[in-house]
A and B are shown apart, each in its own frame.
Chain A
Amino acid sequence: MRRILMASAAISVLASATARAEESVEVLHWWTAGGEAAALNVLKEDLASKGVGWSDMPVAGGSGVQAMTALRARVTAGDPPTAVQMLGFDIRDWAEMGVLGNLDDLAAEQGWAEVIPEAIQAFSKYDDHWIAAPVNVHSTNWLWINKAALDAAGAEPPEDMDGLFAMLDAFNEQGITPLAHGGQPWQDGTLWESVVLSRGGMDFYRQAVLDADADALGGDTMRQVFDDMSKLREYFDGSFSGRDWNLASAMVIEGQAGAQQMGDWAKGEFLSADQVPGEDFVCIRFPGTQGSILFNSDQFVMFDLGDDEKRSAQLKMAAAVEDPAFQVAFNTVKGSVPARTDVPDTDFDDCGKKGMADLVEAAAGGTLAGSLAHGHGQPSAVKEAVFDVVTQHLNGQITTDEALTRLPQAVAAAQ
């Protein structure tokens, strides 16, 4: 009898010991590239110091499509991970399924509502409840220019579309590829949304993209946008189809190409090639979009796990993510800017400082809008419908007239 008691006591001690060690988070993400993984390590170590274990569930694939597929399988099987890296409308879709947790208490305690721009809150909250912790803010309307080529052209960084075309012509005369572009639908869409913002301004972008207004999608401003796209197409090299974005960045880094339109994650490529902002490359807002930001924001979405212990680990993770020190440490490595606007910019480089200042300005001035190409403008069905038309037009499969008829149709059919 005594032995049985002792054994059971020993077992219960063991059990509680493992239970304590079990306070850990399982995180599904697609940050597997060098800089991204390094950035994630910052969070991992921070949590380890607080006694929270980390179980990694990386799903490779830059756009996160594969990760979302893996997540579907997990949720359908009734076993969601603790936290999942997610973007834009995907968050809303998951929230609608009623499987997400609630972070209201933590958000109130840390005052998230005051420091996170409202346009980003729109994706972190559902039905007025916090469901996700935003990690960073990327923006897509950037132009990356090779400094040597720009100097040789004797040009100032362009301020509007005409200036851009003039600069690209100058690059053409230098015998380099004027515009490095990767011909994948999402990259075509990223370029397109910058041109939309440049030609029509923020009001038009909201009307055409965020409100999916049929008149705006098939109107005269949009005709100008598609004409610009056809013109930009002539500045690509012959084998742009299917090229990955980082190879296009490499062309600019190596001086084979003059410029690339891409989101600020491209900066990571320049930095890891030991290039210095302002000396080797120039970062400017896409010509004609100064003062406006098309953003996408990575967030950690917290699932409802129905278990107090797991929930406590989850809250610790969310709290760590919104910690200003973490926001700085993570975003200097990742190339993005912090999701909260009250973080000092001392540790950031020139492009990072510019990005942070722009974010504060755009958040205050109401010129901050979600990027369509990166899932913050429309749900994925509509986004892909726009990609279809844009990419077919850019590749010469359909004419501008056809694009203008098809775009409103495709968007309406996908809604």
Chain B
Amino acid sequence: MATTSPGMLRRLQDWLPRLVLAPSFALVLIFVYGFIVWTAVLSMSTSRILPVYKWAGFDAYERLFAQPNWWMALKNLAIFGSLYIIICIALGLLLAILLDQRIRIEGVLRPIYLYPMALSFVVTGTAWKWFLNPGMGFQNTVRGWGWEGFTFDWLVRPDMAIYTVAIAGIWQASGFVMAMFLAGLRGIDSEMLKAATVDGASTFTIYRRIVIPLLRPAFLSAVIVLAHMAIKSYDLVIALTGGGPGNATELPSTFMYSYTFTRSQMAVGSASAMIMLMGIAAIMVPYLYSELREEKR
């Protein structure tokens, strides 16, 4: 009956995982790392409308940093990114702590907070575009209630529009951050908290000195997830403001798309993509490094 020798079986067992992983590994190699290399090559070429492989050195990077639009995009990313990450974490943590007080309808509240994450950025952007539109949304409604002087027109004010992008982004992601923190809170050993209570520590002190420090892994993951979402948020801006008014809500991602595909400056677009990649790498590499080192210990 058994014709396969034990040796062959073991060899098969050794090879099986590699065989199963090989196709996806190859795909990742080509479609992630291959394309990164391709973008790097394009960013040093003279490409305009189509890829052209003519060496131009760092010319595209020089032109990139000479663009007022690019500086605008970086400034907006700094505003949007920092508000998005900080407020999402603060709000998510607050919601998680409140939900963790063993309230009765937690099962109902949790999905309500989490639901925005189920919406795509495009839906979020479009909904907030209508809500914030001064002619038909929030401002108009409040005025209809009788407060004639009420004004909330950030969406159409070049100096404030980037904050509306932050509002919509925070609305969408903070529930998700809450879920991450809630999972973290549930993972904390209740014996430790009981011991602290016995020692006479107040709830506030317990959270400040014990719980929040224990949530460090959750904080780290939240920052990583939010940071890369901030850098790649393209659809939110396109749906909410289209990059306007003027170019007041330009982000590196919208910049990259328009220079590569609509402005026939593929090399400059690729250069901006490389800068964005370096930005993400600057966050990810130290994180991965610290994670891997801890594993070894």
Q: Which residues of A contact B (CB under 8 A)?
A: 65, 68-69, 72, 75-76, 93-94, 97, 183-185, 237-242, 379-381, 384, 388, 391-392, 394-397, 406, 413-414
Q: Can you list 7 A-B pairs, Cβ within 8 angstroms, ordered by A? A: A68-B261, A69-B261, A72-B261, A240-B156, A242-B244, A394-B246, A397-B248
A384-B258 CB under 8 A given contacts A238-B153, A239-B136 = yes
Contact B246 A381 (CB under 8 A): no
Which of these, B134, B158, B161, B263, contacts A238 with CB under 8 Å? Answer: B134
Contact B51 A76 (CB under 8 A): yes
Task: Give chain A residues whose Cβ lies under 8 Å from the Cβ of B48.
Answer: 93, 381
Task: Give chain B residues whose Cβ lies under 8 Å from the Cβ of A239.
Answer: 133-136, 153, 155-156
Task: Give chain B residues whose Cβ lies under 8 Å from the Cβ of A392.
Answer: 158, 246-247
Q: State how many angstroms separate the Cβ of A28 from the closest Cβ of chain B.
A: 15
Complex: how many Å from CA A388 to CA B50? 23
Task: Verify if B216 is at the interface (C-beta below 8 Å from A).
Answer: no
Contact B50 A97 (CB under 8 A): yes
Task: Give chain B residues whose Cβ lies under 8 Å from the Cβ of A394.
Answer: 246
Contact B135 A395 (CB under 8 A): no
Interface hits, B134-166 → A, CB 8 Å: 134-136, 153, 155-156, 158, 161
Complex: how many Å from CA A380 to CA B258? 11
Task: Give chain B residues whose Cβ lies under 8 Å from the Cβ of A237.
Answer: 135
Contact A241 B244 (CB under 8 A): yes
Task: Give chain B residues whose Cβ lies under 8 Å from the Cβ of A406.
Answer: 68
Complex: how many Å from CA A69 to CA B245? 25
Task: Give chain B residues whose Cβ lies under 8 Å from the Cβ of A75.
Answer: 50
Nearest A residue (CB) for B161: A241
Task: Verify if B69 is at the interface (C-beta below 8 Å from A).
Answer: yes
Helix, strand, loop or mixed for chain A's interface? helix
Contact A238 B156 (CB under 8 A): yes
Task: Give chain B residues whose Cβ lies under 8 Å from the Cβ of A97.
Answer: 49-50
Which of these, A65, A93, A183, A396, contacts B244 with CB under 8 Å? Answer: A183
Which of these, B69, B155, B265, contacts A388 with CB under 8 Å? Answer: B69
Task: Give chain B residues whose Cβ lies under 8 Å from the Cβ of A391.
Answer: 244-247
Interface hits, B180-196 → A, CB 8 Å: none
Interface hits, B240-297 → A, CB 8 Å: 241-242, 244-248, 258, 261-265
Q: State how many angstroms separate the Cβ of B258 from the closest Cβ of chain A.
A: 7
Nearest A residue (CB) for B155: A241
Nearest B residue (CB) for A92: B49
Which of these, A184, A242, A381, A397, contacts B264 with CB under 8 Å? Answer: A381
Which of these, A238, A379, A414, contacts B135 with CB under 8 Å? Answer: A238
Task: Give chain B residues whose Cβ lies under 8 Å from the Cβ of A184.
Answer: 242, 244
Task: Verify if B129 is at the interface (C-beta below 8 Å from A).
Answer: yes
Complex: how many Å from CA A220 to CA B35? 48
Task: Give chain A residues whose Cβ lies under 8 Å from the Cβ of B135.
Answer: 237-239
Task: Give chain B residues whose Cβ lies under 8 Å from the Cβ of A68.
Answer: 261-262
A380-B264 CB under 8 A given contacts A93-B49, A238-B134 = yes
Which of these, A69, A183, A380, contacts B263 with CB under 8 Å? Answer: A380
Complex: how many Å from CA A380 to CA B153? 32
Nearest B residue (CB) for A94: B49
Nearest A residue (CB) for B242: A242
Contact B262 A380 (CB under 8 A): yes
Task: Give chain A residues whose Cβ lies under 8 Å from the Cβ of B156.
Answer: 183, 238-242
Nearest A residue (CB) for B268: A381
Task: Give chain A residues whose Cβ lies under 8 Å from the Cβ of B244.
Answer: 183-185, 241-242, 391, 395
Contact B245 A183 (CB under 8 A): yes
Nearest A residue (CB) for B241: A242
Contact B245 A395 (CB under 8 A): yes
Task: Give chain B residues whose Cβ lies under 8 Å from the Cβ of A76.
Answer: 50-51
Task: Verify if B63 is at the interface (C-beta below 8 Å from A).
Answer: yes
Contact A397 B69 (CB under 8 A): no
Contact B246 A242 (CB under 8 A): no
Q: State how many angstroms separate the Cβ of B69 from the closest Cβ of chain A.
A: 6
Contact A413 B265 (CB under 8 A): no
> 18 other contacts beyond A239-B156, A379-B264, A384-B262, with CB at 8 A cut-off?
A72-B50, A76-B51, A97-B50, A184-B242, A185-B244, A238-B135, A238-B153, A239-B136, A241-B161, A241-B244, A242-B156, A242-B242, A380-B262, A381-B48, A388-B69, A388-B247, A406-B68, A413-B66
Pairs A-B, 8 closest by C-beta atoms: A395-B246, A239-B135, A241-B156, A241-B245, A395-B245, A392-B246, A93-B49, A384-B263
Q: State how many angstroms separate the Cβ of A299 from the closest Cβ of chain B.
A: 17
Task: Give chain B residues whose Cβ lies under 8 Å from the Cβ of A183.
Answer: 156, 244-245
A395-B158 CB under 8 A given contacts A68-B261, A379-B264, A388-B247 = yes
Complex: how many Å from CA A237 to CA B133? 12
Interface hits, B54-97 → A, CB 8 Å: 63, 66-69
Q: State how many angstroms separate the Cβ of A190 from the closest Cβ of chain B.
A: 15
Q: State how many angstroms separate the Cβ of B192 from the closest Cβ of chain A.
A: 52
Q: State how many angstroms separate the Cβ of A81 from the closest Cβ of chain B.
A: 16
Complex: how many Å from CA A394 to CA B248? 12
Among A97, A241, A388, which residue has the most Cβ atoms of chain B within 10 A?
A241
Task: Give chain A residues whose Cβ lies under 8 Å from the Cβ of B155.
Answer: 239, 241
Complex: how many Å from CA A381 to CA B261? 10
Task: Give chain A residues whose Cβ lies under 8 Å from the Cβ of B261.
Answer: 65, 68-69, 72
Complex: how many Å from CA A76 to CA B67? 28
Nearest A residue (CB) for B129: A242
Nearest A residue (CB) for B265: A381
